[in-house]
Structure 1
Amino acid sequence: MTNDAQRPFGRLLTAMVTPFAADGSLDPDGAAALAVHLVDEQRNDALVINGTTGESPTTTDAEKEAVLRAVVEAVGDRARVVAGVGTFSTHHTVELARSAEKAGVHGLLVVSPYYNKPPQAGLIKHFTTVADAVDLPVLLYDIPHRTGVAISTETMVTLAGHPRIVGVKDAKVDLAAASWVMRRAEFAYYSGDDAATLPLLSVGGVGVVGTSTHLTGRGTKDMIEAYERGDVATARRLHLELLPLYTGIFRTQGVILVKAAMNARGLPAGPVRPPLVDATEAELAQLRTDCADAGLPI
């Protein structure tokens, strides 16, 4: 069983979308309201703000700081707020990390530098430089199908030795690699793939940083808690019930369908920013089908 000390950000985290007004401008009040919904109604222990699902590639540094401050003020007294600060520049990532720390966040999510594909030694230097620059716990983000480079097992074990690098959002979905890291280091593994949450729990994972959890949060939290108390049958049942949304939310970019769902439910979301485009009528119809199949109609 996993104790609370091994879950630096709790069990359930959602990578929150960033609400925009109809004209595409930032909606900080909407961000605060959505954060309250995700914490109070969807049972999130923490929120990741300014991740890719938060459209960080198309928000300015000032907008990133503004949304962080709005969310910290709204829910920071009862949930952890984790700032996505990863870029393909170590210097810029450090700047964002320091800005987030000043905004009052509780931790950082740092993705592997993307596009420039650094070697493993470069990954170690990047992550440790960021962790050395702040006094906050750091969650790595391993998503090689987007970044172009995976964090190797040896690199992960090395990074786990840093006092402020506490875990990873694992979207690599390699249970053997994750197991080897957990065999050799005390490291918190959070699933970065909604459908892989239960399998990762089975080898020692502690939770999920989800996208569909804008909608499936309550059921996902129940699934994790059921597994941790030894009720594997209930955990499996919930996994299968929620599977249509765990996978369906990624039929196109997750943020597109999450925003469509939030808008349909009357929650703050608004449009996506170019180069993304809003969901088509066909995509929205399929989303409604997936939500109904998961028992969560919109």
Structure 2
Amino acid sequence: MFHGSYVALVTPFKNGQVDYQKLGELVEFHVKNGTQGIVPCGTTGESATLSFEEHEKIIGEVVSIVAGRIRVLAGAGSNNTTEALRLAKHAKKIGADGALLITPYYNKPTPEGLYRHYKLIAESVDIPIVMYNVPSRTGISIQPETVARLSEIKNIVGIKEASGSIDQATQILQLCNITVLSGDDSLTLPIMSVGGRGVISVVANVVPADTAALTRYCLEGNFDAARKCHFKLFPLCKSMFIETNPIPVKTAMRMLGRLNGEMRLPLCDMTKEHESQLMGTLKNYGLIS
């Protein structure tokens, strides 16, 4: 159901408030540049600092602006199962195509606890669910065997795999037929080479057409062309993580004149050293003359 390039959309702010006008501009930018789907209110969207009201309004706005032209996979995760259920229900209510649910962070649930968390939400809300595994953020990794168990629930359709491990993605694909989407831009090609179906991408905020081309070539089986895209994108992908995401991507978008770069504390401006490094990468890519 979900394949290709999905952008982990940044949340634009202006004077501490969500900038809904800019949000609309960013959505249109992605529709015009070949992005297959938009993921609002994820990690890159600074969901941890959004109020429930902001979270729900942003997703509603994105669904409305997209108007069925591409897919919307709504960020709906929480370490509180009741809160995640609320967000998933809202995603269903306003017409999102699916809900992205991160593994509960901080709590460090057991494999059985993870299974029950996702099972309860999936059985309570009739919406396609994509799990999100990012142990560097959450302190826990979902086991491939648990993913396989959950894949037997009809509306648990995918997993965003951001463990940084090709072994993890391979084991999941060996155990079940669930859709695996890369959660690490630099690993999109390797994950798709073993059967992954796309990426939920940070770098697509900067170069959506190139990211979409990479996934398209992989899905077509044209791995010679995909490799060329991968090698071109690789330095830019790595630069998106020289500081905590989304600091670099918002800084890059500011350098390109697409965004003011504003973030919410506890995130803050990039160091001058890293800014200079990022600027060099953008120049080498040809985005800045």
Do Structure 1 and Structure 2 share a fold, with TM-score over 0.5? yes
Q: What is the one-letter code of the residue matched to 1:106?
A: D
Equivalent-residue separation in structure 2 for 1:70 and 1:280 (angstroms): 33
Match of 1:200 in 2: 191
CA displacement at 1:267 relative to structure 2: 2.1
CA displacement at 1:275 relative to structure 2: 0.4
| Mapped contact 2:3–2:181 kept (Cα < 8 A) | no
Deviating beyond 3 angstroms after TM superposition, the runs of 4 or more aligned structure 1 residues are none
| Mapped contact 1:97–1:108 kept (Cα < 8 A) | yes
Equivalent-residue separation in structure 1 for 2:287 and 2:245 (angstroms): 17
State yes or no: 1:103 paired with 2:94.
yes
Equivalent-residue separation in structure 2 for 1:197 and 1:126 (angstroms): 28
1:211-222 maps to which residues of 2 (within 5 A)? 211-222=202-213
Q: What is the one-letter code of the residue matched to 2:123?
A: D
Match of 2:126 in 1: 135
Q: How high is the sequence identity, in percent, across the aligned residues?
A: 36
CA displacement at 1:291 relative to structure 2: 1.6
State yes or no: 1:124 paired with 2:110.
no
Match of 1:16 in 2: 9
Q: Please, which of 76, 91, 100 is the counterpart of residue 85 of structure 1?
A: 76
TM-score by length of structure 2 reads: 0.95
Equivalent-residue separation in structure 2 for 1:281 and 1:177 (angstroms): 36
Equivalent-residue separation in structure 2 for 1:270 and 1:173 (angstroms): 27
Equivalent-residue separation in structure 2 for 1:236 and 1:146 (angstroms): 29
Match of 2:173 in 1: 182
CA spacing shift, 1:96–1:228, aligned 2, 3 Å: closer
Q: Please, which of 11, 25, 38 is the counterpart of residue 30 of structure 2?
A: 38
Q: What is the one-letter code of the residue matched to 2:201?
A: G
| Mapped contact 2:210–2:229 kept (Cα < 8 A) | yes
Equivalent-residue separation in structure 2 for 1:191 and 1:108 (angstroms): 16
CA displacement at 1:290 relative to structure 2: 1.3
SS state of the match for residue 157, structure 2?
strand
Superposed CA deviations along residues 189-239 of structure 1, whole A, max 9, x for unmatched, are 100000000000110000000101111221122122223333322211111
CA displacement at 1:47 relative to structure 2: 0.7
RMSD of Structure 2 on Structure 1 (CA): 1.5
CA displacement at 1:29 relative to structure 2: 1.8
| Mapped contact 1:256–1:277 kept (Cα < 8 A) | yes
- Structure 2, unaligned runs of 5 or more: none
Equivalent-residue separation in structure 2 for 1:296 and 1:263 (angstroms): 12
SS state of the match for residue 12, structure 1?
strand
Superposed CA deviations along residues 151-198 of structure 1, whole A, max 9, x for unmatched, are 101101001111000010000132233222222311101000000000
| Mapped contact 1:243–1:294 kept (Cα < 8 A) | no
State yes or no: 1:55 paired with 2:46.
yes
Q: What is the one-letter code of the residue matched to 1:124?
A: Y
Match of 1:5 in 2: none
CA displacement at 1:269 relative to structure 2: 5.0
- Structure 1, unaligned runs of 5 or more: 1-7
Match of 1:235 in 2: 226
Count matched residues.
Answer: 289
CA displacement at 1:106 relative to structure 2: 1.0
Equivalent-residue separation in structure 2 for 1:274 and 1:121 (angstroms): 34
Superposed CA deviations along residues 238-280 of structure 1, whole A, max 9, x for unmatched, are 1111111111110012211211222222324541000000224
Equivalent-residue separation in structure 1 for 2:47 and 2:218 (angstroms): 33
Superposed CA deviations along residues 93-149 of structure 1, whole A, max 9, x for unmatched, are 111111222222111000000011000000001011111221110000011111111
Q: What is the one-letter code of the residue matched to 1:171?
A: A
| Mapped contact 1:14–1:210 kept (Cα < 8 A) | yes
CA spacing shift, 1:269–1:74, aligned 2, 3 Å: farther
SS state of the match for residue 253, structure 1?
coil
Of 175-184 and 230-239, deviating more is 175-184
SS state of the match for residue 136, structure 1?
coil
| Mapped contact 1:153–1:181 kept (Cα < 8 A) | yes
Q: What is the one-letter code of the residue matched to 1:19?
A: P
CA displacement at 1:72 relative to structure 2: 1.1
Q: What is the one-letter code of the residue matched to 2:18?
A: L
Match of 1:3 in 2: none
TM-score by length of structure 1 reads: 0.93
| Mapped contact 1:30–1:269 kept (Cα < 8 A) | no
SS state of the match for residue 44, structure 1?
coil
Match of 2:17 in 1: 25
